[in-house]
Structure 1
Amino acid sequence: MNTTYGMSYKLSLIASVAGLLYGFDSAVIAGAITHLSHYFALDAMGTGWAVSSVVLGFMMGAFSGQFITNALGRKKALIITGVLVFLAGIFTAFPYNFTMFILFRIVGGIGVGLGSATAPVYIGEVAAQKIRGKALGFYQMMIAFGILAVYLVNALVANQASDPQWATEYGWRFMLGAMSVPGCLFMLLAFWLPESPRWLIKNHREEQAGAILRTLYGEDYDSQGAINEIKSTFRQPDAGRADASILAKKYRRVSLTILGMALLANLCGINAVLYYGNVLFENIGIASEKTAYYQQIVIGIAFFVAAVWAVYRVEKYGRRRLLIVGSFVCFLSITLLGILIWMGVTSLFMLAIMIVYILFFGGTVGPILWIIIPELAPNMIRDKLMSWATLLIWTGSFIVSQTFPMLTNSEMLNRLFNGSFPFFLYGLCCLLWFLLNVFCVPETRNRSLEEIGAEMSRA
């Protein structure tokens, strides 16, 4: 490992564990939802609420991130993330009633949402320019690893649950309770992180920022020159004024581009596969309750492998090219899956199509989204814009996770589309994502955050 980049890699890896919490917390419900629904006697809407309530927490955490990270700093926000996820793991495993379960699903979601608004910003601000894409890719890699890990935990618990009554009473508790382990680990690791130099400079703590910059990039690094360049981005004529908002004229193009990417990303349907994979496999007839857990592991492995590939190739191929190719293949695959479901086909070929979709989403759209948003956002509005973008990411996730069981259980839609309607909707969103990438998204590889921000502000 290049010693110049060694500290950047270490800090980025630690901060990216917030992504593991995201993956674990969001996907754990896939294995637990069937028995959880039986335990609480939930209908379709209640099942959707049990799944999507965590996404409501994601949205709340993402929105509050702009205030917490600005006031307390990136480091403290990440510590709070670990604390909230740890508590959620304990209390969702042992809730007094369904209301308490929902409350702590939301608490854990707030932690994950705060982490998702903070960790990419932190990584982007501490990583060296030449490895920034790879370092930011660690976040998506950890999301994928968290999803794979929780699928393995779910399968392990399900394999021990030979008694259906035990599974309904206790199995889901082990799945959800396992979340407290990575939550506690991240809480402890976050104490070791230094504060972001850019946040310190913004808060007039240049001496401390200079020391951290030299630790990151070596004692010979021109920390004072870097400080002066960063400070210049906080001396904008409109700084501190009401019109210095994310929709101010100079920021409008970059803000609308980022917000459009953020909203459409999860509307592409990834969470229908990740959250409801077990139910989906059973409904289309390619798995039983037991084998669905193992097919979820296949999906998790594909997602993780794709994320690892993205980490090692994002600097070679660039952000824009990967986004264009990935969004187009996602459009083709999810639409083809919808067509096969509409035709009533039952075949393992459908699992292969899902894997193609997962590989291209996990290797392009998923990781590049978390890389390019903090890169495109100018220093002056990065906290605010990242929070709004993350809020929209979770808004799309909430819409998909809440409506998927309702759409698949709609008698009218099933008569017309035979269960394929959600996948045609997701295909349309993938197509819109593709067009947005083609016409609005610039390349950010090998450029400093200040250079990118200046270009997007002028545009």
Structure 2
Amino acid sequence: MSSKKCEPPPLDSLATTEKATFLRLGHKNHSQWTALGSASFILISGGMSLAWGSGFAVHSAHRDQLLRTVHMQIAWYATAVLGALFGAFYTHRLPQQPIYILASVLVIASGTLFLAWPECPGAIIAARYLDGLANGLAFVPALSTVGEISVNEIRGLLASTVEQLSFNTGILMQLIYTAVWQVDWNVVIVADQVHGVLSIVYGAIALALALTLCVESPVHLLMRSSEQRALVALRHLQRPYMVTSEMLLRLDEHKQYVAGNREMCLGASLQKGYPSVLKLLALRLLGVLCLNSIICSALYETGNQLVSCLYAWPFVVFGLLRWCGCFLAVLLMDTTGRKKPTLFGIFSTGAFAIAYANLFGRTPHMITALVMLFSLQFLARLGQCASAAYLTEGFPLRIKPHMVAAVYIIEQAVLLLLCSFLPSIAGITAYFHFLGALSMVLFLLGIFCLPETRLVTLAEAQVKFSKWFNKDF
């Protein structure tokens, strides 16, 4: 009798199996995204407002005022900070659903002001106040609980989708309508009203999702000693909607996570969270440096020398490449992991920033400079996407909302400082040299300090982040 040799399956068979497994996993756990879908659409509106405040609103009747009026500059950032402060207090203390409902209504109200009174500066300032407050209110609970709602296998994908992909979708939408709008169009609606319509649509979808599909964090319920309600929440976070052995294992994992963090006093929590907050601040602030009024000025000055109709394809390509870089990184979060794409993106950001700084202002090389700026945006998003997953994984449970809020507040403060600064040509060059040098330093530090948290539990990820040095890949 001849014995058959065991041969490994062909590569295409393995690829098909992995794809089927990934799709099955996504179908089984899609309720985890819809549970946070309200926050996603609120953050899309926030992405539009961030781009508007950074200067990507060239057809707005208030663009000159945005550059001159301090009140209009600080409006969105001030209330985003206020909302984050509230979020640090009520997350893990109050139910999330009423907060998402309130934030959705605020987004709708903001869009209504843009739509109804587009020429009135007071109405625009009030609208930006409302949208900023909505985003601050939604950001902290969403990023604090996304890791608690999702399974380990898709935690990175879900966190980066809810935050990074949502923000960059809003930025892309703002850039698209900014690019295609023509001031000589014979239409009744003006550009700021388009912003209002889009905000109303996002707010309405967010409100519908908050009213119908919002599910509380099982960890929050266990912290309130509601084990039965936590099991019900877990049942609604996956298909089929029934209690399974896998679900009971997840419940035990959450109970151990809560119990381990309850034993940790405030001082120990702060000590373990200190390395995490420094790492995440460095990573997140690098992302802030890649979208602000200086970047907008750089795109304007570069594109202005190349195309007669500036407000067309350069803006669309700029936004599209940001979004594509983010989308690619989202797909890599739970396959390749967090650390490799982050380090590659940071290093490439530094290289392209230095290349752009050396080419900017040299007329024969401006087309190359524009390509460098586009590439920088793509790779910057590739390097920043994991920061959303890191935010939900890096802090001890007792102080997680407060640390997430602290990182977010510092981001808004830096954004406000940058968005009120109008640089000269020499200033833009110096800025990109600084961005490139900083990226290279953070790349070297990231090799030794950033952890790889793919497919580990929240408790294990928290332990990794509490260490200053992590050489795992």
TM-score, scaled to structure 1: 0.84
Provide the C-alpha distance between the structure 2 equivalents of 1:132 and 1:144, rounded to a whole number of angstroms. 19
Question: Which residue pairs with 2:358 in the alignment?
Answer: 339
CA gap of 1:432–1:74, structure 2 versus 1, over 3 A, is: farther
Provide the C-alpha distance between the structure 1 equivalents of 2:121 and 2:142, rounded to a whole number of angstroms. 31
1:17 aligns with 2:41: yes
Question: Which residue pairs with 1:208 in the alignment?
Answer: 229
1:271 positional shift:
2.9
- SS of residue in 1 equivalent to 2:313: helix
Provide the C-alpha distance between the structure 1 equivalents of 2:296 and 2:84, rounded to a whole number of angstroms. 20
Alignment map for 1:84-103 (pairs within 5 Å): 84-93=106-115, 94=117, 97-103=120-126
- SS of residue in 1 equivalent to 2:452: coil
CA gap of 1:55–1:346, structure 2 versus 1, over 3 A, is: farther
CA gap of 1:275–1:340, structure 2 versus 1, over 3 A, is: closer
Question: Which residue pairs with 2:439 in the alignment?
Answer: 430
Question: Which residue pairs with 1:194 in the alignment?
Answer: 215
> Which of 248, 271, 274 in structure 1 is aligned with 2:292?
271
Question: Which residue pairs with 1:138 in the alignment?
Answer: 161
Provide the C-alpha distance between the structure 1 equivalents of 2:157 and 2:337, rounded to a whole number of angstroms. 11
CA gap of 1:13–1:138, structure 2 versus 1, over 3 A, is: farther
Provide the C-alpha distance between the structure 1 equivalents of 2:331 and 2:434, rounded to a whole number of angstroms. 32
- SS of residue in 2 equivalent to 1:391: helix
> Which of 57, 60, 63 in structure 2 is aligned with 1:32?
57
Question: Which residue pairs with 1:411 in the alignment?
Answer: none
Question: Which residue pairs with 1:230 in the alignment?
Answer: 257
For the 8 Å contact 2:146–2:392, the answer to whether it is kept is: no
Letter paired with 1:444? T
Letter paired with 2:82? M
Question: Which residue pairs with 1:300 in the alignment?
Answer: 319
Provide the C-alpha distance between the structure 2 equivalents of 1:276 and 1:186, rounded to a whole number of angstroms. 33
Provide the C-alpha distance between the structure 1 equivalents of 2:192 and 2:92, rounded to a whole number of angstroms. 37
Question: Which residue pairs with 1:291 in the alignment?
Answer: 310
Provide the C-alpha distance between the structure 2 equivalents of 1:380 and 1:105, rounded to a whole number of angstroms. 32
Alignment gaps of 5+ in structure 2: 1-22, 469-473
Alignment map for 1:3-402 (pairs within 5 Å): 3-13=27-37, 15-29=39-53, 30-33=55-58, 35-37=60-62, 42=65, 44-46=67-69, 50-51=72-73, 53-93=75-115, 94=117, 97-139=120-162, 140-156=164-180, 158-159=181-182, 161-162=183-184, 170-191=190-211, 192-217=213-238, 219-220=243-244, 221-222=247-248, 224-238=251-265, 243=267, 248-267=270-289, 269-272=290-293, 279-281=300-302, 285-288=305-308, 290-344=309-363, 347-365=366-384, 367-402=385-420
- SS of residue in 1 equivalent to 2:35: helix
Letter paired with 1:109? G
- SS of residue in 2 equivalent to 1:292: coil
Provide the C-alpha distance between the structure 1 equivalents of 2:121 and 2:234, rounded to a whole number of angstroms. 48
Aligned length: 434
CA gap of 1:87–1:278, structure 2 versus 1, over 3 A, is: farther
1:208 positional shift:
0.7
1:129 positional shift:
0.4
For the 8 Å contact 1:8–1:126, the answer to whether it is kept is: yes
Letter paired with 1:249? Q
For the 8 Å contact 1:31–1:172, the answer to whether it is kept is: no
Provide the C-alpha distance between the structure 1 equivalents of 2:204 and 2:286, rounded to a whole number of angstroms. 32
- SS of residue in 2 equivalent to 1:179: helix
Provide the C-alpha distance between the structure 1 equivalents of 2:295 and 2:171, rounded to a whole number of angstroms. 8
1:345 positional shift:
5.0
For the 8 Å contact 2:347–2:443, the answer to whether it is kept is: yes
For the 8 Å contact 2:179–2:311, the answer to whether it is kept is: no
1:446 positional shift:
0.8
Provide the C-alpha distance between the structure 2 equivalents of 1:310 and 1:97, rounded to a whole number of angstroms. 40
Letter paired with 2:35? L
CA gap of 1:56–1:278, structure 2 versus 1, over 3 A, is: farther
Question: Which residue pairs with 1:448 in the alignment?
Answer: 457
CA gap of 1:318–1:92, structure 2 versus 1, over 3 A, is: same
1:352 positional shift:
1.2
TM-score, scaled to structure 2: 0.82
Letter paired with 1:231? V
1:340 positional shift:
1.6
| Higher gyration radius (CA) | 2
Structure holding more helix per residue: 1
For the 8 Å contact 1:123–1:136, the answer to whether it is kept is: yes
Provide the C-alpha distance between the structure 1 equivalents of 2:306 and 2:100, rounded to a whole number of angstroms. 41
Give per-residue Cα distances to partners, 1:222-278, cap 9 Å, x unaligned: 15523421331342241xx5x366xx33332223222333334313x3234775576
Provide the C-alpha distance between the structure 1 equivalents of 2:329 and 2:37, rounded to a whole number of angstroms. 15
For the 8 Å contact 1:68–1:77, the answer to whether it is kept is: no
For the 8 Å contact 1:74–1:122, the answer to whether it is kept is: no
Alignment gaps of 5+ in structure 1: 409-413
1:108 positional shift:
0.9
Letter paired with 1:17? F
RMSD in angstroms over aligned alpha carbons?
3.0
- SS of residue in 2 equivalent to 1:71: coil
Provide the C-alpha distance between the structure 2 equivalents of 1:67 and 1:251, rounded to a whole number of angstroms. 18
CA gap of 1:328–1:392, structure 2 versus 1, over 3 A, is: same
Give per-residue Cα distances to partners, 1:135-170, cap 9 Å, x unaligned: 1221222222222222233334x23x3169x89x94
1:458 positional shift:
6.8
Provide the C-alpha distance between the structure 1 equivalents of 2:404 and 2:206, rounded to a whole number of angstroms. 21
